[in-house]
Amino acid sequence: MRKYLSAIFLFFIFLAIYYIGSFTKTPFADCVGFVLDAEKGKFMTVATATTHFLYINTVILIKNLTGLNAIEASRFLIVFSGAATVSMVYLTVKNITKTEWASVTAAFVFGFSFSFWRNAEIVEVYTYNTLWVSLFFFSMIKSFTENKKNYITAAGIFLGISLWVHIQNILLIPAFLVFLFYFRNEKKYAYGSLLTFTLLFASLFILNTSQGLAFSSPYTSDQGNWVEETFKKNSMQYVKDFFQSFAYLIYNFNVFAFFGVMGAVLLYKSNRKMFFVFLAGSLCVYGFSTFYAVSDNYVFFLPFNLIFALSIGYGLSAPKYIYFKKISWVCLMIPVGYLLSYQIVFATKKGKEFHAFKQYKGGLNYYMLPWMNDNAGILEFTIDKKEAPEPIKWMTLSAIEYIKLMKSKGYTEEEIKKL
C-alpha cells in the first residue's frame, strides 16, 4: 500500500484542482450536446465516430445510480478520470525509472498541461478517453519492465475498450501491433491479447450493422466530412498546421519539452523495443492531429501528449540531469506561466482584437487559461438570444433542445441560465 501513497496523494490533489477549476456554466463547443444526450437518459445503442458510446453510457449510469443531473454526473466522471490519469502517469513513470522525484514531476507536468487540464474542466470525452489510453500504455510498459505476461493480454483489453470511448484510438493500433510483434514468442498471451482486441473492435461493427447502419459507421459521422477536408488543404496550410502543432507542444510542456525530447533519445539507446512501440503510436497520433481539419484539433494530441509526458519523466530520471531535482518544484509554477502568457497576449493590439471577437464565450480567457470557473455559458447565451460574430448554430441547436427538455422538467429560464 505504501508504494501507492504518492499516486493516491496526486489523485486527491488533482481531484481538488480540477473540481475547483471546473466550469460554472455549461461551456460552448460540444459540451451541451453531451449534456443533452445524458439528460435524456436513454442509453446509446450505436457506436459512431461522434456518439462516444462508452462515455455517454457511463455518464447515464452515474446519473441513474446517484440521482445527479447530467451536468453533475458528467463533471464527476470527467474530474475523476482526469485525476486518475495523473496518478497513472506517476505510476507508469515510476515503473520505468524507479525514480520518485522524476515520476512526481512528470505527473504534475502532465496534470498542468494546458490541453489535458482544459478538458478536465469542461464537459468532454477526452479525460475519460485518456484514462483508458493510460491503462493501455501502463500495461505495455509493465510487460517490458517486469515481464508480467498477464499485462500483454491487458494491453489488448484496454485498447479495445478505449475504441468504445473514442474511435481516434485506432491510431494506436500500429503501436499495439509492434508491441505484439516483440512478444510473439509468448504465443498464449500475445494471441490472447490480439484476439480480445479484435473481438472488442469487431463488436463496434456488429453492433452498428445489426441496427442497419453502414459498415463504415464506427469511424464516420453525418455531422461533418472532416477527414475529406483534411486532404483538400493547400501546401501552405499544411506548413501552418505543422508549426501550430509545435506551438501546442511548447504551450503544453514549456521548458519540460526539452526533457521529453531527451527522454526519447535515452529510451532509444536503452530499450529500442519500447522506443519503437511508442514511436509508432506517436507518429500516427501526432501526424493525424496536426493536419486534421477541425477547429479543436488540439484535443486529438492528448494520447501523444501522454506519451510525451512519460518521456519527460524518463528524461528527468537520467543521471546527467540529477541537478534538476533541486529545482523540479518549478513544475508547480506552470499555472503562473499561463497567467503571464495571457497578460502578454492581452497587452497586444491583436490580442485585444481577438479577445473582443471571442468575447461571447470568454475571449482570451477561454483560449489561454485552462480553468473554467466563472465561464460564459451557452445556455444563457441562447436564452438571451445573443449573437456571435461567427457561425455557432450547431451549438445553439443542441442548447435549444436542452432548454426545452429542462423546461419540461419544471426548470425556469433563470434556473437554466445558471446550469
% of the chain at pLDDT higher than 70: 96
* pLDDT on residue 55: 96
pLDDT of the residue at 147: 80
Q: Is the pLDDT of residue 108 over 80?
A: yes
How does pLDDT run across 337-388, given as a tens digit for each residue?
999 999 999 999 999 999 999 999 999 999 999 999 989 989 999 999 998 8
> For the residues 138-150, what does the mean pLDDT come to?
93
- Ramachandran class of 46: left when φ > 0, alpha when ψ lies in -120 to 50, beta otherwise: beta
Confidence of residue 231 (pLDDT cuts 50, 70, 90): low
Residue 292 pLDDT: 79
HSE, CB side, 13 Å, CA atoms: give it for residue 223: 13
Report which of 190, 137, 198, 191 is spatially closest to residue 163, judged by C-alpha positions.
Answer: 198
Of 171-175, 179-183, 339-343, 397-401, which range is least confident?
397-401
Which sequence spans correspond to the domains of the chain? 2-368, 378-417
Residue 2 confidence (pLDDT) above 80: no
Angle made by CA atoms 275, 329, 299, in degrees to the nearest 5 = 50
Contact of 292 with 224, CB cutoff 8 Å: no
Q: How far apart are CA 61 and CA 56, in angstroms?
A: 9
The set of residues, in sequence order, having a beta carbon less than 8 Å from that of 164 and lying 6+ positions away, is 47, 53, 54, 200, 204
- pLDDT averaged over the chain? 92
| pLDDT tens profile 253-272 | 999 999 999 999 999 999 99
Helix H or strand E encompassing 48: none
As a whole-number percent, the residues of the chain with pLDDT over 90 amount to 76
Our CA angle for 267, 320, 311, nearest 5°, is: 30
DSSP3 helix / strand / coil % (the chain, rounded to 5): 75, 0, 25
Q: What is the pLDDT of residue 294?
A: 72
Residue 185 pLDDT > 90: yes
Task: Quickly list DSSP for 148-162.
Answer: -THHHHHHHHHHHHH
Sign, CA dihedral 210-215-216-222, equals: negative
What pLDDT does 293 receive? 63
Asked if 151 contacts 139 with a C-beta cutoff of 8 angstroms, the reply is yes
- Residue 355: name the closest of 380, 374, 376 by CA: 376
Angle between the N-to-C axes of helices 187-209 and 173-182, in degrees from 0 to 180, rounded to the nearest 10: 160
Over 90: is that where the pLDDT of 236 sits? no
Q: Which amino acid is at 69?
A: N
What's the N-to-C CA distance of the chain in angstroms?
A: 40
Instruction: Classify 189 in phi/psi space as left (phi over 0), alpha (psi -120 to 50) or beta.
Output: alpha
Identify the pLDDT of residue 154. Answer: 97
Q: Are 21 and 78 in contact (CB under 8 A)?
A: no
pLDDT at 99 over 80: yes
For the stretch 174-203, what's the b/e string if a residue is b when 16 or more beta carbons lie within 10 angstroms of its beta carbon? bbbebbbebbeebeebbebbbebbeebbee
Model confidence band, residue 225 (pLDDT cutoffs 50, 70, 90): low
Judge whether residue 20 has pLDDT over 70: yes
CA 305 – CA 357 distance, rounded (Å): 29
Q: What is the number of other CB atoms lying within 10 angstroms of the CB of residue 73?
A: 23
- The tens digit of pLDDT for each residue in 273-301 reads 999 999 999 999 999 888 876 777 889 99
pLDDT score, position 220: 78
Q: 134 falls in which pLDDT band (50, 70, 90)?
A: very high
Length of the chain: 419
Residue for grid cell 519527460: 312
Helices (H), 222-323: 226-230, 235-253, 257-270, 272-291, 302-316
DSSP category for residue 358: T
pLDDT greater than 80 at residue 138: yes
Confidence of residue 396 (pLDDT cuts 50, 70, 90): confident
- What per-residue confidence (pLDDT) applies to 75? 96
Each residue of 111-125: pLDDT tens digit?
999 999 999 999 999
Cα separation, 292 vs 13, whole angstroms: 34
Say whether pLDDT at 230 is over 90: no
CA distance 155 to 369: 34
Sign for the CA dihedral angle at 377, 419, 83, 2 comes to positive
DSSP per-residue letters across 178-243: HHHHHTTT-HHHHHHHHHHHHHHHHHHHHHHHTTT--TTGGG--TT--HHHHHTT--HHHHHHHHH
| Confidence label for 71 from pLDDT (cuts 50, 70 and 90) | very high
How high is the pLDDT of residue 115? Answer: 95
Q: What is the pLDDT of residue 226?
A: 61
Band (pLDDT 50/70/90 cuts) for residue 223 is low
